[in-house]
């Protein structure tokens, strides 16, 4: 089981790109600041959409409260999240299982097939959780 977690950690670090930042000794600070700046820029770019989504859900909750139908807000959030899981899942699965260059190197290692497939599947699941988290949390909190 320890090989599975080591493989999963390695695949996650390599797919996110953290290994490039950690291994670069010369331009480490500049590259780290560039990466953090890009992440901050992406967060600022998505902030208005998340704000409007939260505002719509809050108004929907206020409209449905007199009718006793507040659960529709959670249903709406889960429906949106499941659509996103399907949409992004197609691309995540294809890119993780079919368009990877490291599979030839991993097949030569003394790992069981369930460890290879399990680590890749776990990577896809983590990607899905991270991509749907901003859209599933507001309905649950409202």
Please give the model's pTM, rounded to 2 decimal places: 0.74
**Contact (CB, 8 A) for 73 and 60:** yes
Quick one: average pLDDT of 16-27?
61
The maximal CA–CA distance of the chain, rounded, in angstroms, is: 63
Least confident of 4-8, 44-48, 77-81, 103-107: 103-107
Helix then strand then coil, in percent of the chain rounded to 5, is 85, 0, 15
CB 24: neighbour CB atoms within 10 A? 13
- Of the listed ranges 44-48, 101-105, 108-112, the one predicted with least confidence: 101-105
Structure tokens at 74: 């959670």
């Amino acid at each position: 089981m320890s090989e599975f977690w080591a493989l999963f950690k390695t695949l996650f670090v390599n797919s996110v790109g953290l290994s490039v930042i950690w291994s670069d000794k010369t331009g480490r600070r500049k590259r780290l600041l560039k990466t953090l700046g890009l992440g901050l820029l992406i967060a600022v770019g998505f902030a208005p959409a998340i704000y409007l989504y939260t505002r719509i859900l809050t108004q929907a909750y206020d409209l449905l409260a007199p009718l006793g139908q507040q659960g529709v807000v959670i249903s709406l959030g889960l429906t949106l999240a499941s659509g996103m899981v399907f949409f992004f899942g197609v691309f995540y699965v294809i890119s993780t299982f079919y368009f990877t260059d490291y599979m030839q190197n991993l097949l030569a290692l003394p790992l069981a097939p369930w460890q290879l497939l399990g680590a890749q599947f776990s990577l896809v699941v983590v990607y899905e959780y991270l991509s749907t988290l901003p859209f599933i949390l507001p309905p649950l909190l409202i």
